[in-house]
Amino acid sequence: MSKLTLDGFFSYCKQIAEHIQLGERMASLSGQGTPKLTSAVGNLYYDSILPYREDANAQTREFLARVVDVLLDYVQQVNDRNEKILEFKMPEEMQKTLDLALHDEPLPLKQLLEDCKSALKHQVKTGHPHFFNQLSCGLDIISLAGEWLTAAANTNMFTYEIAPVFILMENVVLEKMRSMIGWKTGDSILAPGGSVSNLYAFLAARHHKFPQYKEKGLTSIPGHLVMYTSDQCHYSVKSCASVCGLGTDYCICVPSDEHGRMIPSELERLVRYHKDRGNVPFFVNATSGTTVLGAFDPLMEIADICQKYDMWMHVDAAWGGGLLFSKKYRHPRLTGIERADSVTWNPHKLMGTLLQCSTVHFKYEFVDVRKGESGVICIEVCGFEILKK
């Protein structure tokens, strides 16, 4: 057999092998096959792959590739209208179905792969076209890929030193979001959920209005602080009053109209009521997209009142903030948001990114970088020291 013939033969064999591999992969994705490990890898344990064994690249790749197959099968099921959203079982029955025992000995890789399948089999398919519960907006594939990437990087966002690319990405994205709000300057931060974002806004407001509070506490303020919010607001706003020592009695719920929107005249009446009694109104939370009715408070009128009485205006646009992208719906719903002092905005809601993705934005630059006599650089945010180097 000539060399040309041998080359052609080997090329033909390679094509057949590639078609077989493609067929196996397509069968897996179509539900006709089940991702499995070879026995040589399936019987291994965690300490037989990276990083515990430097010569285990092939075994590690096979294990992770089969895990990815399981995930891709699930992604396909999530987007299949003929699939059920959930195979519901009562807790007692679910515990019998799954092996949830914490064993003293490690499990082989093949069992871990089976457990991955079982976990997804009994999971609510929140990205399903027929899933209409709150918060979830489908399963965005690009966002999913980003989640895998950040999980593989396995780093935090504390400093540029530890996450140079991610820090630069964060700055660019948050600056763009602030510009969409209508600000040319300011600061922003990613937070673990809208509740914490609202808490950050409250703390920033208190520090901005009363910088002496950090050292002197409540006794440095002449009168009791009072905050205001709609009676349709998210529960986290009232939690701020409890967590930060204000007291829930001083978180005043302003009546809303028949559409669930805060009534500005009622806000001003309540502000004047507390001022007349020696209290210190300082913080107003306006909601852009209430939890139950999806109402948008009238931001322009609220901003006028905040300006008149020198109060901090925060907008909880956790899910309504996504309307900033819409030329059709931004106005009048978000008209006046640029007059706010801070804004909570959750991309994991109306924008459809994966849970959790929450941001809080400030009109002012709160980062204070100081160099002491010893040469130590201290970085403070809202009066709280976060880094020394």
Residues of the chain with CATH 3.90.1150.170: 10-130
Token pair 């593989």: residue: 152
SS3 105: coil
User: What does pLDDT average to in each consecutive run of 10 residues of the chain (389 residues)?
Assistant: 54 57 46 78 97 97 98 96 94 94 95 96 93 81 96 92 95 97 95 95 94 89 94 94 94 98 99 97 98 96 99 97 96 98 95 92 76 52 50
Overall CATH class of domain 152-372+376-381:
alpha beta
Backbone angles phi, psi at 190, to 5 degrees: -80, 135
| Among 117, 119, 115, CA closest to 34 | 117
Contact 85, 130 (CB under 8 A): yes
3-state DSSP call for residue 217?
Answer: helix
Contact 317, 325 (CB under 8 A): no
**DSSP label of 353:** P
For 10-130, CATH number out of 3.90.1150.170, 3.90.870.10, 3.40.50.2300, 1.10.540.10 equals: 3.90.1150.170
Q: What is the helix (H) or strand (E) element at residue 385, kind and residue range?
A: strand 384-388
Amino acid 258 reads E
d(CA 251, CA 231): 10
Q: pTM score, two decimals?
A: 0.85
Q: Give the count of alpha carbons within 13 A of 296, CB side only.
A: 20
Which candidate, 218, 238, 225, places its Cα nearest to that of 278? 225
- Predicted confidence at residue 29, as pLDDT, reads 44
What pLDDT does residue 369 have? Answer: 52
Residue type present at position 45: Y
Name the segment(s) of the chain with CATH classification 3.40.640.10.
Answer: 152-372+376-381
HSE value, Cβ hemisphere, 13 Å, CA-based, for 65: 13
